[in-house]
Amino acid sequence: MEKLKWRLQMKGFAGVSSDGLSGGLALYWDENLQVTVLDSCARYIDVRIVDGANDKTWRTTFVYGEPRVEHRHRMWSALSNLRAVSSDPWLVCGDFNEAMWQHEHFSRSQCPENQMLLFRDCLETCKLMDLGFSGAPFTYDNGQMGERNVRVRLDRACADEALRDLFPFAQVTRLATSCSDHAPLMIRLAHEEPMRTKISPRYEIMWEGHPGLGDVIAETWRKSKPRGHLGAVRDAMKEMMHKLWAWSKENFGHVITEIEKLWTELADVQLHGADRVAIRQKMYKLDELLYREEMLWL
């Protein structure tokens, strides 16, 4: 997991090793932030974050709650103890492995009220407030069909009053995914202008997954017939790229735009409880587009 930071183009890493095939935490950050690890264990990574460019300092605890109900009180005790560690503005986010309210738990059987009450008591003791979110009303889906399907809001971001004053425009968005039973959360602490990217007209590896690529190249090269000097080869290569990009638009479209569109569609079908077949079809298509995007940036 530490080596993965180079592929993600991140500067820093902090992690907690897994116990066999279960558990494990990983945290990455880029060069714009100064991050100091205050404490870590199997249940959380607690850090102080300094944003020198904007003269802001705060503390974030990234959590993975106790998966076993009988041990969940340990998590609430740990959070209560962390409350006294620092007076910095505090954000706590991640998978708490517990719902706060009955309407956050979608299954055949209800969640025991005392479990959720202990969670709410913990947040009150820590002076933390749920920041809310936009998107489908659950973050975990066991992927089962019919009455065996369980969907719960287990992942959230909570903040104290000082953090909410420091970042009054903080927003949490529940994203769609095809690769996990948990949906990722996007937490935007400050308002940001969307980045615009421009892709240069170059050969793309993702084209090689299409069976028609060879025919397009062969046909275009045959028509160009570059002969005599390197200038003719240059012109033929230029014509080849124009042809390939025109072909790419017809067969691939704009990958990033298509991914954003499909994420929206997937979130919509999950929100409105569409049948499992429709959801899985969206997931398979999203997997394919994410692979194309990976090849695009590679």
Q: Which domains does the chain have, with CATH numbers?
A: 4-188 (3.60.10.10), 211-251 (no CATH)
Residue 134 is classified by DSSP as: B
Instruction: Report, as an integer, the average pLDDT of 23-52.
Output: 95
The CA distance from 117 to 8, in Å, is 39
| DSSP secondary structure code for residue 173 in this structure | E
pLDDT digits (tens, 9 = 90+) for 64-95: 999 999 999 999 999 999 998 889 999 999 99
Residue labelled with tokens 């690890």: 37
Locate 227 and state its tokens. 């002969």
pTM for this model (two decimals): 0.68
d(CA 169, CA 56): 15
**What single letter denotes the amino acid at residue 214?**
G
What three-state secondary structure class fits 104?
Answer: helix
Confidence band for 253, pLDDT divided at 50, 70 and 90: low
